[in-house]
Amino acid sequence: MKKLTMNSRRSVAALGLSVALAGSLVACSSADNGDAGGDNGGAEGVDVAGVIIQKDDELAAMLPEDVAAEGKLTAIQYDNAPADTFLDEDSNLVGWGPDLGRAVAATLGLEYEAEVSGAFDTFMPGIQNGRYDTSWASIIISDERLEVVDIVSAHESTTGVITNEGSGLTIAAPEDLCGLKVGALAGSAFLIQIEEIGEICEDAGESAPSVDSFPQQGAAVLAVQSDRIDAFMTAKGQLTWLFRDGSDVEGLEVQPLDYQPNLEGVAVGKDSGMTEPIAAALNKLIGDGSYEKILATWGIDFGLVETAEVNPAV
């Protein structure tokens, strides 16, 4: 697999790394980025990434009474995981995850209302305690997470790694990470993967990689660039987006490693009564082609699921 490199810095409007580096931003998503601003579609439907989404009365009837009465689908979204979920240069919440959230909400006759945060490790507790109904995209399905939330599958992702271009490293297999300093997002499933790779290394008589966790993706990228860590591990699709748009990735490269295909999806509170309506709405979007069109808007033409499953085996 050919390595992707970026030797010159370009300013790109679509990406918000610079926004994320300012700190953990928490804000409500606004109506002008496609979120509901008092309009859940009506007869004309809701425009999501150029796709008109109509309310499905039969699916809307599946909603818990309190949610239907309030008319909102609430979410907590990460601020810097493009193209999944991130802030653009105007601090609008964008990405295929929020767009799917908007589309599902519109299908159920609800308004999509999201808060944005850089503290990913607070997301599952926030959904578990009922503060938020959902979180969309970048939620890798794991046994540990399924103990505290439901997850509806929405996409299949693999794990990738970036390093400094001049590091001399070639990381094509998990064993190539042995003995290295590897970073991942705090609260992410990638930390678990690094621990699993550590066991592989030790079984082979090598040192396990040391692990550093970071509150934000931008901080991890800077740590690689400053040689504080050897590598940063995250979803391969997110790394591809970074290099496609060239935001602050000067001197970095994506390594050949394509590790552990994983289902990711929508985290939903257990016993909230929202899991089945969300799965049904997402399956309708898959069936009528809206799902594929929305993901294609973000350059995602890989890892599409044929069926949105509730808590699939991992």
Looking up residue 275, the CATH number of its domain turns out to be 3.40.190.10
pLDDT given for residue 247 in this prediction: 61
| Chain segment 286-306, per-residue pLDDT in tens | 999 999 999 999 988 888 999
Band of the pLDDT at 43, cuts 50, 70, 90?
low
- Do 271 and 225 sit in the same domain of this protein? no
| Chain segment 65-119, per-residue pLDDT in tens | 999 999 999 999 998 888 899 999 899 999 999 999 999 999 999 999 999 998 8
- Do 131 and 168 sit in the same domain of this protein? no
- Do 32 and 102 sit in the same domain of this protein? yes
Radius of gyration of the chain (CA): 19
- Do 116 and 39 sit in the same domain of this protein? yes
Q: Which residues contact 223 (CB under 8 A, 6 or more apart)?
A: 183, 212, 214, 229, 232
3-state secondary structure at position 121 = helix
Q: What is the average pLDDT across 231-238?
A: 90
284 domain residue, yes or no: yes
Strand partners for 13:
none
Please give the full DSSP string across 27-59, using - where no structure is assigned: EEPPGGGTS-SS---GGG-EEETTEEE---HHH
201 domain residue, yes or no: yes
In angstroms, rounded to a whole number, what is the distance separating the alpha carbons of residues 30 and 36?
Answer: 8
- Do 78 and 163 sit in the same domain of this protein? no
| Chain segment 152-207, per-residue pLDDT in tens | 999 998 899 999 999 999 999 999 999 999 999 998 889 999 999 999 999 999 99
306 domain residue, yes or no: no
- Do 38 and 81 sit in the same domain of this protein? yes
293 domain residue, yes or no: yes
3-state secondary structure at position 311 = coil
Q: Which residues contact 65 (CB under 8 A, 6 or more apart)?
A: none
**Is the preceding peptide bond at 83 cis, omega within 30 degrees of 0?**
yes
pLDDT given for residue 136 in this prediction: 94
307 domain residue, yes or no: no
- Do 230 and 286 sit in the same domain of this protein? no
184 domain residue, yes or no: yes
Number of structural domains (the chain) is: 2
In angstroms, rounded to a whole number, what is the distance separating the alpha carbons of residues 258 and 168?
Answer: 19
- Do 49 and 78 sit in the same domain of this protein? yes
- Do 211 and 245 sit in the same domain of this protein? yes
- Do 240 and 178 sit in the same domain of this protein? yes
Would you say 85 and 134 are in contact if contact means Cβ atoms under 8 Å apart? Answer: no
313 domain residue, yes or no: no
**Torsion region of 254: left, alpha or beta (phi above 0 gives left; psi -120 to 50 gives alpha):** beta
Q: Which domain holds residue 233?
A: 4-11+158-260
| pTM, entire model | 0.72
- Do 129 and 168 sit in the same domain of this protein? no
310 domain residue, yes or no: no
- Do 204 and 116 sit in the same domain of this protein? no
